Amino acid sequence: MKIRSKRIAASIANQVSQVISSGLNDPRVSSLITINHVQLTPDLRTATIFISTLGDKESQLSTLNALRSANGYIRRELSTRLELRHIPEITFKVMPSMPQDNLVISILDSNL
């Protein structure tokens, strides 16, 4: 990835994270959501945002569906926050979790 693409991907990750945490009022969105990686196409027209959330598969799917339904709102917010000629089309994907993550979650749940 070129330097410009990396810089834009980092800006998109930062701004989307801020939009999700402060501007998105959907109860389906988990409060513990992390943007792991943003992958841009070479023409900067499409961005794939990889997220991870704590919880079971059902809560991950719920969060993913909420983000997909808020796609237009997120792009509109990005257009006001980023100085780009074209705001990329956004797709959200869930990062596969590691088995250790699930083990830690189950230990924490058992102690509560």
Report the alpha-carbon distance of residue 112 to residue 109 in Å, rounded. 5
CB 50 within 8 A of CB 12: no
- The angle at the Cα of 61, spanning 58 to 65, to the nearest 5 degrees, equals 140
Residue 94 half-sphere exposure, CB side, CA atoms within 13 Å?
A: 21
- 3-111 is classed CATH 3.30.300.20: yes
Q: Which helix (H) or strand (E) holds 48?
A: strand 46-53
pLDDT, tens digit only, all 112 positions of the chain: 689 999 999 999 999 999 998 888 888 887 788 899 999 999 999 999 999 887 778 888 899 999 999 999 999 999 999 999 999 999 999 987 665 566 666 777 776 5
Instruction: Supply the pTM of this predicted model.
Output: 0.81
